[in-house]
Amino acid sequence: MSIPETAGACTCQTAQLAKPLGALQSPMAELLNTFAAPSPAERIIVRERILQIAEDGSQLDDEIERVEKILASLRHNRAALHKLSDGHQNVLNLTRRLPIEILGEIFIQLQCMLGGRSIAPTRVCRQWREVAIATSKLWNHINIQYTSSRALLDTEMIPIWLQRSGGQPLNIAIGSHLVPFAVTRSSNPMLDAVLHNETRRWVEVQLVVTKAMMPFLYHIPEHLPRLYSLSIDADDSHFDGFRPPGHGTGIATLNNFRHAAALRVLTLGWRITPGQIPEFPWVQLTACTLLPWGPYTCADGYFILGQAANLQFYKMALDATSGLSATLPLTNIRHINLRSLEI
């Protein structure tokens, strides 16, 4: 029997079995509606009826199983046809006319949009994936939450990300205020080493420091030839409870960035070191921001104003209860390049 004939016979059989059963008749209708005990002869009839019902039910089960297999095959064939159709539609796609460089630039612009991600184009098709991986500028933004649950994944993926970025300057964000307090953190020496080896490519760096990140922060190499913008903050919820103002995070001094020759933009949040502000190449800065939760004193604001002689933009949120010490030497401060001062 040919496939169409088999399908036709199967359809007819299924349709026959699927007909409504209507009002089911029983030779023991009167007995079913009472609570009387059946006679020996009636018990024989009831048992025969039960066997017949079981046989009919088994036949329906077999048919249901056969039809479900057919439906599974039909769905599989339908999905295969859709995939084949998509492949043919892809041949007519206008993006095929674009040079690879233009398509890569489109991917870069997509990444800059709200919600854009480097990995998104790699999930569309094999051709787009190849273009995306070959576009090094698409992989120079790295965001690491630095949590225990992602430690192994970060250790595996970040080297791949860095390899794809080629020699591009790196924009790196490490740590986040958005990570819930309940999420555990732990140091990751292997990841630290990978990131430290790429410091020559750091251009924009945002750090939200936790206790687990202290080894990473402390061992950042001083050779940072391209670092242009630096933001340092701390996630106080991950430092074993409340720390009194000015007590820092446990690092006595932080001098890793004092020789960053290209540094121009500096943002400081919660204090990383107690007492005096860490060393930075103040004289070359053009923009500086002290965030409200430092807390930073008037002396801190005055110190930076005296050191950073080439500032163009300075924004400082200071502790209103602090004041200048009587012993603090007041010097003449001139800022010929200052365009904006916000206190």
Higher pLDDT, 55 or 38: 55
Look at the pTM and tell me if it is higher than 0.75.
Answer: no
Q: Pick the closest to residue 209 from 265, 278, 271, 162 (CA basis).
A: 271
**Domain-by-domain residue ranges, the chain?**
48-92, 97-138, 139-322+329-341
Could you give the CA distance from residue 26 to residue 283 in angstroms, rounded to a whole number? Answer: 102
Which has the higher per-residue pLDDT, 230 or 118? 230
Would you say residue 109 has pLDDT above 70? yes
Question: Mean of the per-residue pLDDT values for the chain?
Answer: 81
The first and second tokens of residue 245, run together, are 């103002």
Q: What is the C-alpha to C-alpha distance for residues 259 and 250, in angstroms, rounded to an integer?
A: 22
Higher per-residue pLDDT: 240 or 95: 95
**Six-digit token string for 282:** 């103040």
pLDDT at 251: 59
pLDDT of residue 249: 53
Asked whether the predicted pLDDT for residue 180 surpasses 80, the reply is no
User: What pLDDT is recorded for position 214?
Assistant: 84
Percent of the chain with pLDDT over 90: 26
